[in-house]
Amino acid sequence: MEAIKSSFPVYFNYQVQFTHGLFDKKNPLFVEIVQQASKQPSKLLWVIEQEVANSQPELTAAMDAYCQHHQLQQCGKPLVIGGGEAIKNDSSLLKSIYQAINEHGICRHSYIVAVGGGALLDMVGFAAATAHRGIRLIRVPTTVLAQADSGVGVKNAINYFDKKNFLGCFAPPYAVLNDFNFLISLPQRDWRAGMAEAVKVALIKDAEFFYYIQQQAQALTQRSMPAMQHLVRRCAALHAAHISGSGDPFEFGSSRPLDFGHWAAHKLEHLTAHRLRHGEAVAIGLALDSTYSYLAGYLAQNDWQQILATLQDLGFTLYVPELSQQLDKLEHPLNIFRGLREFQEHLGGELTIMLLEKIGQGKEVHTVDIALFQQAILLLKELR
């Protein structure tokens, strides 16, 4: 009997747009995006992060007025939910999104519009991708990290079994609408944290961008909007280009260059019980993997020093005690190197870690020298 072979490409196409005042009645962006698939009115279900609604009290009224003005069909009042990593740990919130989808009869041609930080977008994205096998999702990211990195991509997830992003899927959004005005109300900590992802992508892909961040470090920490807008745009463009141009948007292979610094970061988020923000943990992961790259002889000393100095100039802490707890007990649950195994397990296939050859150029390895990594951790501890 001859086998039936199936092989077909699936084409995805979405835009990442940048704007100010997304819900000003005169701003046509949102209505154009919603009406691009069909002029027929489609239903909109809003999910907004509580903290965003609190810090921008006029927001929900502006959305409502925008919808009335442009005759967009909203489903009830916006669902206002918490934010931050905690919502990815609480599966009852996921259920509340499914409930709203069910109650309002949201179909695959309707839209869920998620307004919030990376954690909310990950969680709502997962709900949108799984209800009815996929409802159109419009992401409106409200943090630096989400506008520059997480909101731009194709991954959605919640945490489960105490493991980060254990339940998740690859599902591209319908559109990503980055409104820079949301960044104004961000606490300094979150303003800073997102910049770690920009340093990450600059280090592996774009030396010029790294030198931009280095040069603008002070302006960036002092909340220069033009400097931040450039950072967000460039970082988002590099991520989007990687997703559409790498040939592996759904990560079937073992290589995951955009996860530079992330094996340790994910473990540190867990070991610190999320005391660290994702971006803060990434900054430490970048410092660690850059230090290892230097000690292993891949990266020049001068490049290594510039990387650490730039991260520090941005205000990042590059060492936390959780890095070195139970350092010699590799099987201890609190040992950082358990993160390597978990990273491989999550990714599948051969262990593949991105390191650095020089600023702007990564280098993948499949084995690591744990003793040298321990040395790297102790060096970061000394330099603190």
Ligand X SMILES: NC(=O)c1ccc[n+]([C@@H]2O[C@H](COP(=O)([O-])OP(=O)(O)OC[C@H]3O[C@@H](n4cnc5c(N)ncnc54)[C@H](O)[C@@H]3O)[C@@H](O)[C@H]2O)c1
Residues in touch with ligand X (CB under 6 A): 49, 51-52, 55, 83-85, 88, 116-120, 122, 142-143, 145-146, 149-150, 153, 155, 182, 185-186, 190, 193-194, 277-279
Closest approach of Cβ 142 to ligand X, in Å? 4
User: Which residue lies nearer to ligand X by CB, 213 or 376?
Assistant: 213
Measure the CA–CA gap between 293 and 299, rounded to whole angstroms: 5
Measure the CA–CA gap between 227 and 218, rounded to whole angstroms: 10
Closest approach of Cβ 73 to ligand X, in Å? 26
Closest approach of Cβ 187 to ligand X, in Å? 6
Residue 369 tokens read as 């020298």
Residues contacting 138, CB < 8 A, separation 6+: 33, 34, 111, 112, 113, 114, 173, 174, 175, 176, 177
User: Which residue lies nearer to ligand X by CB, 287 or 379?
Assistant: 287
Measure the CA–CA gap between 106 and 171, rounded to whole angstroms: 18
Residue 226 tokens read as 């033009």
DSSP 3-state of 141: strand
Measure the CA–CA gap between 73 and 68, rounded to whole angstroms: 8
User: Which residue lies nearer to ligand X by CB, 194 or 362?
Assistant: 194
Closest approach of Cβ 158 to ligand X, in Å? 9
Closest approach of Cβ 85 to ligand X, in Å? 5
Q: How many CB atoms lie within 10 A of CB 315?
A: 17
User: Which residue lies nearer to ligand X by CB, 47 or 299?
Assistant: 47
Closest approach of Cβ 301 to ligand X, in Å? 30
End-to-end CA distance of the chain: 67
User: Which residue lies nearer to ligand X by CB, 59 or 377?
Assistant: 59
User: Which residue lies nearer to ligand X by CB, 49 or 322?
Assistant: 49
User: Which residue lies nearer to ligand X by CB, 48 or 217?
Assistant: 48
C-alpha count within 13 angstroms, C-beta hemisphere, residue 303: 25
User: Which residue lies nearer to ligand X by CB, 80 or 295?
Assistant: 80
Helices (H) and strands (E) in the chain, counts: 17, 11
User: Which residue lies nearer to ligand X by CB, 283 or 327?
Assistant: 283
Burial class (CB in 10 A: 0-12, 13-18, 19+), 233: middle
Tokens 């290589």 found at: 255
Q: What is the CA radius of gyration of the chain?
A: 21
Closest approach of Cβ 52 to ligand X, in Å? 5
Closest approach of Cβ 367 to ligand X, in Å? 26
Outline where DSSP puts E strands in 50-184: 73-74, 79-81, 111-116, 136-141, 155-160, 163-170, 175-179
Closest approach of Cβ 110 to ligand X, in Å? 22
Q: Max Cα separation, the chain?
A: 69
User: Which residue lies nearer to ligand X by CB, 93 or 120?
Assistant: 120
169-191 as b/e: b if 16+ CB within 10 A:
eebbbbbbbbbbbbbeebeeebb
Identity of the residue numbered 28:
P
Closest approach of Cβ 4 to ligand X, in Å? 35
β-bridge pairing 353-358 and 175-179 = unpaired
